[in-house]
Chain A
Amino acid sequence: MITFMNNSDSEEEPCNERTSLMSAESPPVPSYQDGLQASEAGEAQAHRVEKARSPNNIADGETSDTGVPVRESTSENEEEELTLKYGAKHVIMLFVPVTLCMIVVVATIKSVRFYTEKNGQLIYTPFSEDTPSVGQRLLNSVLNTIIMISVIVVMTVFLVLLYKYRCYKFIHGWLILSSLMLLFLFTYIYLGEVLKTYNVAMDYPTLFLVIWNFGAVGMICIHWKGPLQLQQAYLIMISALMALVFIKYLPEWSAWVILGAISIYDLMAVLCPKGPLRMLVETAQERNEPIFPALIYSSAMMWTVGMAKPDTPARRPSQQTRDAAEDGREDHGSPSHADSQMSETRSPVPTRPITSLDELEEEERGVKLGLGDFIFYSVLVGKAAATASGDWNTTLACFVAILIGLCLTLLLLAVFKKALPALPISITFGLVFYFSTDNLVRPFMDTLASHQLYI
Chain B
Amino acid sequence: AFFWLVSLLLSSLIWFIAVKASDSRDVPLQKGLLIFGVMFSVLLQETFRFLYYKLLRKAIEGLVALSEDGCSPISIQQMAYVAGVGFGLMSGAFSMINLLADALGPGTVGIHGDSQLYFLTSAFMTMVLIFLHTFWGILFFHGCEHRRWWEITAVVVMHLAVSGSTFCNPLYVGSLVPSYILMAVAAAWAYLLSGGSAQNLRRFLLCK
Contacts and interface: CB of A to CB of B under 8 A. Distances in A.
A447 B122 CA distance: 14
B90 A400 contact: yes
Interface in B1-51: 1-2, 5, 8-9, 11-13, 15-16, 19, 34, 37-38, 41-42, 45
Given A433-B9, A455-B8, 5 more contacts: A81-B68, A84-B63, A85-B73, A390-B98, A454-B129
A400 B66 contact: no
Interface stretch (A184-192, A323-331, A434-442): A434-442
Nearest to B33: A447
A99 to B, nearest CB: 13
Interface string A415-455: 00000000000000000010011011101110111011111
B5 A433 contact: yes
Contacts of B37: 444
Interface of B, helix, strand, loop or mixed by DSSP: helix
Interface of B: 1-2, 5, 8-9, 11-13, 15-16, 19, 34, 37-38, 41-42, 45, 63, 66-68, 73, 90-91, 93-95, 97-99, 101, 118, 121-122, 125-126, 129, 162-163, 166-167, 169-170
B94 A400 contact: no
B159 to A, nearest CB: 9
Instruction: Tell which of A77, A78, A396, A439 has the most Cβ of chain B within 10 Å.
Output: A396
A359 interface: no
B45 to A, nearest CB: 7
A397 B2 CA distance: 8
A339 to B, nearest CB: 23
A268 interface: no
Given A440-B16, A444-B12, A448-B38, A400 B2 contact: yes
Contacts of A441: 8-9, 12
Interface string A378-412: 00000000000011110011001100100000000
Nearest to A432: B9
A445 B12 contact: yes
Given A452-B169, A454-B95, A455-B42, A392 B8 contact: no
Given A393-B98, A396-B97, A440 B13 contact: yes
B179 to A, nearest CB: 9
B66 A455 contact: no
Contacts of A452: 118, 121-122, 125, 166, 169-170
28 contacts: A81-B66, A84-B63, A393-B94, A393-B98, A397-B5, A400-B5, A401-B5, A433-B9, A436-B9, A437-B9, A439-B16, A440-B16, A445-B95, A449-B99, A451-B34, A451-B169, A452-B166, A452-B169, A453-B163, A453-B166, A453-B167, A454-B129, A454-B162, A454-B163, A455-B11, A455-B42, A455-B45, A455-B91
A77 to B, nearest CB: 6
A401 B38 contact: no
B93 to A, nearest CB: 6
A289 interface: no
Instruction: Tell which of B12, B13, B73 has the most Cβ of chain A within 10 Å.
Output: B12
A430 B26 CA distance: 35
Interface string A268-288: 000000000000000000000
Nearest to B169: A452
Nearest to B44: A455
